[in-house]
Structure 1
Amino acid sequence: MKTGWVLVPVLCALTACGRGDLDTVTFEGARFDGDLRSERSDRAGFVATGGPASVSLEGSKQAAMYQAVQHCIAYLGSSDVAWTNGPDVDDSDLIITDNEVVLSGRCVEP
């Protein structure tokens, strides 16, 4: 019974640990959050977001690119990305939704 009481605080502490820092990129001293969505039926295709774009477009692109590379490594074992709407487009052509840069592409299989 004593073991159970010792494990409860430990489990509660571990539950509080989130992935927050793993989804954050620091660029020129500012923090940028990224996220990625992909369909279960096609993990190679994705849409990645990063922001806040109002702070820095470059930092937002870096956060979205980081998410894309991590996704491609996790699901296909390669960091290669074929961008549909990528970080190399002119800043005036970037898609910005809800203060986040939106990038899309496909992971390239090795």
Structure 2
Amino acid sequence: MKYALTVLTVSALLAGCANDSERVAFDGQYFSTKLRKVDGQRDVFQVTVKDAGKSIDGARAAARYEAVKYCVGTYGSSDIEWSFGPDAPAGSLRLEGGALTFQGRCPQ
């Protein structure tokens, strides 16, 4: 029983380390992002970056990173047509609940 508990503990610790090494910091900050398809369309997506107030520039970069990762993984290209993207003027950005949301499309 002790052996099984030790193995589980070590496995959990190693899994935790693996996740931290895969995280990418933007402007010195880590952001939680979520990308989802719009209306079931595979090519149109929204990406939301939580706690964007930590660094607006970092949040913009995190959104761009997630979008490129999605388009490359889905279509094999990093091309993105933004309808409202990370390069939008600062005055047009709206923090909703501390999050920024952008929308784009992976051209096919």
| TM-score range relative to shorter protein | 0.7 to 0.9
How far 1:26 sits from its partner (Å)?
1.1
CA distance in 2, matches of 1:102, 1:70: 17
Q: Which has the higher helix share?
A: 2
CA distance in 1, matches of 2:103, 2:20: 22
Runs of at least 5 residues in structure 1 that lack an aligned partner in the other structure: none
Change (3 A) 1:86 1:79: same
CA distance in 2, matches of 1:66, 1:99: 19
Residue 102 of structure 2 is matched in structure 1 by: 103
Partners of 1:53 and 1:99 within 8 A in 2: yes
Change (3 A) 1:25 1:34: farther
CA distance in 1, matches of 2:92, 2:47: 16
Partners of 1:95 and 1:103 within 8 A in 2: no
How far 1:61 sits from its partner (Å)?
0.9
Mapping of residues 1-110 of structure 1, within 5 Å: 9=8, 13=12, 22=22, 24-39=23-38, 41-109=40-108
Runs of at least 5 residues in structure 2 that lack an aligned partner in the other structure: none
Task: Provide the secondary structure at the position in 1 that maps to 2:72.
Answer: helix
How far 1:90 sits from its partner (Å)?
0.7
In the superposition, the TM-score normalised over structure 2's length comes to: 0.75
